[in-house]
Structure 1
Amino acid sequence: MNNGFDFTDTFQNLSHKNMSFDEVFQNIKQFIMKDPTGSFKLMFGTDSQVYSRETIFITGIVIQQERKGVWACFRRVVIPRRMTNLHERISYETTLTEEIVSLFTDEKREQLINIILPNIYKGANFAVEGHIDIGSGKKNKTRIFVQEMISRMNSLGLKAKIKPDSFVASSYANRFTKHG
């Protein structure tokens, strides 16, 4: 059911287009297997941009090895209307992040953790974060939604990050929301 939305189940990055989720997962696994003694963060986040006839949502998936680099990709969703209600848009960003996170089933997360498990005593580490493009500063219009969105991320077992620490949403995904 796609309700006229330009909704894609494929992911892309600067070097690969039309990746299936399975290809994304394999890339993440291979990234971790290159150095299973590393400290890794698997991070998710969505940003949006409202245009005259549509709203573009980009959900980023980033696997980072501390001080060693990243592998990242994103999924693009276009809603064919101006989504100007801030709560609706922030909530939908969070929903799209939740949707991608749900693809990482317990079994898939276990596969990733099992790669580094033998190296825990050598400093290996694996964390999962949900990045939300909102801030709690007094001037930030999104501050009233912070608790609600953090609760949603935490309920998925993710460590929630907001601005200025939510770079997957506020920086990586944001770059790809711009018409190019």
Structure 2
Amino acid sequence: MSFQQVFQNIKRFMEKDPYGSYKLMFGTDSQVHSTYTRFITGIVIQCETKGAWACIRKVIVPRKMNQLHERISFETSLTEEVVSMFTEERKEELIEIVLPNIYRGGSFTIEGHIDIGSGNKNKTRIFVNEMLARMEALGIEPKIKPEAFVASSYANRYTK
């Protein structure tokens, strides 16, 4: 599917209910395999209490990426790349769908889900501030585990 097709699917999904409370969410997960590393970026538009539409983007790196910081950083870069396709103009198109209905429950937010956690036992906790700052620099709300379900659950299912 081209990016334009993805965008049109998101737009059509939102136009079905212009009074909806929408979250556009992005997140990437990875899995190291014997000769390559698979990265999956999930793109999800969710209408609170009314379902979601989602798709994935797959990137294969033809080597084992065993360094945790390199892998987490690349996951974040792939998420940033997809987010950047949603230009201000495209975001405005989506906002315009719900804008006339904000006093009747309509809303639209964008989240970047990062497959890291801040718990003491989590090896990725040392990267939290760096990755959060990268998402915030894009102007989107960052989420980490356990709230980062697009990366840690949806994208994860396709990395195996």
What's the TM-score, normalizing by structure 1? 0.89
Q: 2:56 aligns with which of 61, 74, 83?
A: 74
Shift of 1:123: 1.1
Query: Which residue number corresponds to residue 127 of structure 2?
Result: 145
Q: 1:41 aligns with which of 23, 26, 43?
A: 23
Query: Which residue number corresponds to residue 11 of structure 2?
Result: 29
Mapped to 2, the partners of 1:158 and 1:175 lie a distance apart of 24
Q: Deviations over 1:53-92 (max 9, x none)?
A: 0000000000000010000001000000000000000000
Q: How does 1:32-111 map to 2 (within 5 A)?
A: 32-111=14-93
Higher relative contact order (CA 8 A, sep 6+): 2
Query: Which residue number corresponds to residue 115 of structure 1?
Result: 97
One-letter amino acid of the counterpart of residue 83, structure 1: M
Shift of 1:28: 0.1
Q: 1:155 aligns with which of 137, 143, 149?
A: 137
The answer for unaligned runs of 5 or more in structure 1 is: 1-18
Mapped to 2, the partners of 1:137 and 1:79 lie a distance apart of 29
Mapped to 1, the partners of 2:132 and 2:84 lie a distance apart of 16
Number of aligned residues: 160
Q: 2:2 aligns with which of 20, 28, 34?
A: 20
Mapped to 2, the partners of 1:157 and 1:27 lie a distance apart of 23
One-letter amino acid of the counterpart of residue 74, structure 1: I
Structure 2 residue matching 1:42: 3-state secondary structure: strand
Mapped to 2, the partners of 1:65 and 1:156 lie a distance apart of 22
One-letter amino acid of the counterpart of residue 121, structure 1: Y
Mapped to 2, the partners of 1:133 and 1:80 lie a distance apart of 21
The answer for unaligned runs of 5 or more in structure 2 is: none
Shift of 1:94: 0.1
Structure 2 residue matching 1:160: 3-state secondary structure: strand
One-letter amino acid of the counterpart of residue 30, structure 1: R
Mapped to 2, the partners of 1:165 and 1:122 lie a distance apart of 26
Structure 1 vs Structure 2 CA RMSD: 0.3
